Structure 1
Amino acid sequence: MNIKILYFFMVLLLLSCNKDAKHTEVASDNMANDIVKEEKQSIKELKEELKAKGYQTFDYIDEKTRDTIVMQQYFIAFLKRGNNRSQSKAEADSLQKLHLAHLGKMYEMGYADISGPFGDDGDIRGITIYNVPTLAMADSLANADPMVKSGRLEIEIHPWWAGKGLPLR
């Protein structure tokens, strides 16, 4: 009797593994199709699309790979310690929640690609990299942050160039 139960569970396990393998295969095929679609956009098309949206770009040839790298202008906002740090702990905690919600919204809307605090207690508290076409737009979005509005943080923005689509490592 115990052997029959053991065989039953082994067959059940094999069937479930086969179902997972089929699901993984379908997911892998879908991901491969998405990658092929992304690769089909030529450098020329990418540059034209970015230019039409108002972005600044230039390109160069990577010496090792001989690939054309499209450089896009982003805007890096340094979030610096502000002059108004007199809020109560409850007010500061509330502002922090609003600040994180603002940064999350910027990411979800596609305006900010990366944000995060620095790991020390220096005057520069963190950064946000804005993926927008103009300094004025980055400045407006950064200054809409509740922490900035309260004076707890100040913004310093600089144009910053990075390879379009290159991953963070």
Structure 2
Amino acid sequence: MKKITTLFIAALVVLSCKGEPKETNLDNIDEGTELIETLKDSIVSEAKEVKGQIKTVKQIKEELTAKGFKTFDYVDEETKDTILMQQYFMAFLKTGPIRGQNEEETADLQKEHLAHLGKMYELGYADISGPFGDDGDIRGITIYNVPTLKMADSLANADPMVKAGRLEIEIHPWWAAKGFPLR
């Protein structure tokens, strides 16, 4: 509850301290109110469990540890909240050595690739995936929410694009605060 209150107050402070002149603009007030309501709804829904109970950091850590995940926690000096860090695995999808597929084969592989990533997300193994916006050697990433490097590597290498050699995988352990949304 302390974390939710702190995040809500932080959102209010950020929205109210823009350093702009103190004139009233109803459009900005409406946008700010919508943003606060969206943040509040997001925080509340993140904090609720299916049963309607809020889990403590200790409970979440115990569940993750029982499933084999690596975690650590620290106390935020400013808020005094305990922040739980979890190890994830970031898979970089890089240009593979076999790029000679024709247009139809490439289109089919792309469909299978997207279906694979969708299945990983649906099963809870991947939290986010996406391509990069440039045309570099690193084509995209997938963040795997699994307990071991071996499992992440196995799931990433099951991707049809990787199996066909069009992409190859490079995986690194990555730590992130559990339950914090992207902004």
1:157 Cα deviation (Å)?
Answer: 0.2
**TM-score, with length taken from structure 1:** 0.78
Q: Give, in whole Å, the separation in 2 of the partners of 1:83 and 1:48.
A: 42
Q: Which residue of 2 aligns with 1:69?
A: 83
Aligned CA distance change for structure 1 residues 101 and 163 (closer, same or farther; 3 Å): same
Matches within 5 A, 1:1-169: 35-37=47-49, 40-169=54-183
1:64 Cα deviation (Å)?
Answer: 2.0
Aligned CA distance change for structure 1 residues 168 and 32 (closer, same or farther; 3 Å): closer
Contact 2:91 2:169 in 1 (8 A): yes
Question: Percent same amino acid among aligned pairs?
Answer: 72
Amino acid at match of 2:117: L
1:44 Cα deviation (Å)?
Answer: 1.2
1:34 Cα deviation (Å)?
Answer: 8.1
Q: Give, in whole Å, the separation in 1 of the partners of 2:70 and 2:119.
A: 24
Output the aligned Cα RMSD.
Answer: 2.0
Q: Give, in whole Å, the separation in 1 of the partners of 2:112 and 2:140.
A: 16
* Length, aligned pairs only: 140
1:39 Cα deviation (Å)?
Answer: 6.1
The residue matched to 2:104 in structure 1 has which SS? Answer: helix
Amino acid at match of 1:103: L
Q: Give, in whole Å, the separation in 2 of the partners of 1:157 and 1:57.
A: 18
The residue matched to 1:106 in structure 2 has which SS? Answer: helix
1:42 Cα deviation (Å)?
Answer: 1.3
Structure 1 residue ranges without an equivalent (≥5): 1-30
1:66 Cα deviation (Å)?
Answer: 1.3
Amino acid at match of 1:120: D
Amino acid at match of 1:64: E
The residue matched to 1:84 in structure 2 has which SS? Answer: coil
1:43 Cα deviation (Å)?
Answer: 1.4
Q: Which residue of 1 aligns with 2:19?
A: none
CA deviation string 1:29-58 (max 9, x = no partner): xx9688454662111111110000000000
Aligned CA distance change for structure 1 residues 148 and 34 (closer, same or farther; 3 Å): closer
Contact 2:47 2:55 in 1 (8 A): no
Amino acid at match of 1:47: K
Aligned CA distance change for structure 1 residues 33 and 107 (closer, same or farther; 3 Å): closer
**TM-score, with length taken from structure 2:** 0.72
Which structure: greater helix fraction? 1
Amino acid at match of 1:115: S
Larger radius of gyration: 1
